[in-house]
Amino acid sequence: MKKSISYFIPGKTVKVGDLMQTDYQYKLTARAGRDFDKGFKPHFTPQEMLEHGVFEGKYCNDCQDELPKEWFAKARISDTADPALNYFRIKSRQPLSVWREKGWIIGPDPRGWFQWYCRYWLGRRLADVDAAQIRRWRAFARHAAQVRINCPKHCLTCRPRQRQALLQWSYDPFI
């Protein structure tokens, strides 16, 4: 059953049952969209990311019941992966198998960083997992530095793959 954003308050337990995870649940202990670690300042909310076009429209299709229905009202999603749905209209993601090989799947989030971010944004807190994911997010800033160094300001056709990746990690790709 799809839930409104007002459902996601501290104390609620969110139950998960999708194609990649069954019988998992987590308790919300922080306010949705607030109470973030002081070193974690994402540029976009998960909803904004989905509306801009990320992960070729294929990322959260089977887990919409877990997340706020408002996130999907204007989301660019599809039953099949379609790079044209990405903001920069370019393929920029690696298969989940690569993420697994490289050890980038951390804790109880089998879909990776964005799934962690969605759950963190909603108010789930897992100290060790959060610290590891926030470290990874902070390290991703190197890509923004590369765009700044190598591209004229606001030239969105320069390094589109890197800009799409920035969007998918909640950094400002419009620099």
Going by pLDDT thresholds of 50, 70 and 90, the confidence category of residue 1 is: confident
> What was the pLDDT predicted at 147?
97
Q: What is the pLDDT of residues 25-66, one digit of tens each?
A: 999 999 999 999 999 999 999 999 999 999 998 887 888 999
Going by pLDDT thresholds of 50, 70 and 90, the confidence category of residue 154 is: confident
> What was the pLDDT predicted at 150?
97
Going by pLDDT thresholds of 50, 70 and 90, the confidence category of residue 96 is: confident
> What was the pLDDT predicted at 24?
95
What is the pTM (predicted TM-score) of this model? 0.95
CA nearest to 93, candidates 167, 41, 33: 167
> What was the pLDDT predicted at 53?
93
Q: What is the mean pLDDT of the chain?
A: 94
Q: Which two tokens stand for residue 70?
A: 């408002």
Going by pLDDT thresholds of 50, 70 and 90, the confidence category of residue 12 is: very high
E strand or H helix that includes residue 74: none
Going by pLDDT thresholds of 50, 70 and 90, the confidence category of residue 117 is: very high
> What is the four-CA torsion angle of 162, 168, 174, 175, rounded to 10 degrees?
-60
Q: Which two tokens stand for residue 137?
A: 């997010």
pLDDT at 134 over 80: yes
Instruction: Answer whether 41's CB lies under 8 Å from 33's CB.
Output: no
Going by pLDDT thresholds of 50, 70 and 90, the confidence category of residue 94 is: confident
> What was the pLDDT predicted at 48?
98
